[in-house]
Amino acid sequence: MADQHVEKHVRQYLTVFAALLVLTVVTVLASRIDLGITGGVILALIIAGVKGTLVAGVFMHLFSDKRKMIYVVLIYTGIFLAALFLLTALSFGDSLDLGKGDSG
């Protein structure tokens, strides 16, 4: 019985390892595609998000955890991260030129 439990986890870890290898190859291949800066960053963040979800979900046992508090913290973290990305994106429209003032 214990051997089956261990085999299941080893199989799951090897599957995640293979997926991470494939996603690493996808990352390298995607870097060779000219999508512009914005498209490249968006694609890289999507790939990194998938890889991070696999690592956190399997190796940190978040997929099998049944406690609600963990998911509440993850949701708030995601909201905070989205807000930081939004603030960063909005800051690209700002153009403070501190070096060229009207010094008269």
Residue-wise pLDDT tens digits, 34-52? 988 888 888 998 999 999 9
Verdict on whether the full-model pTM lies above 0.75: no
What's the average model confidence in pLDDT over 75-82?
Answer: 91
Cα gap 65→56, rounded to integer Å: 11
Taking phi over 0 as left and psi of -120 to 50 as alpha, with beta for the rest, 102 belongs to: beta
- State the pLDDT at residue 57: 87
Buried b (16+ CB within 10 A) or exposed e, 58-95: beeeeeeeeeeeeeeeeeeeeeeeeeeeeeeeeeeeee
What's the average model confidence in pLDDT over 69-97?
Answer: 83
Amino acid 20 reads L
C-alpha distances in Å from residue 61, one per residue of 9, 13, 57, 99: 11, 11, 5, 51
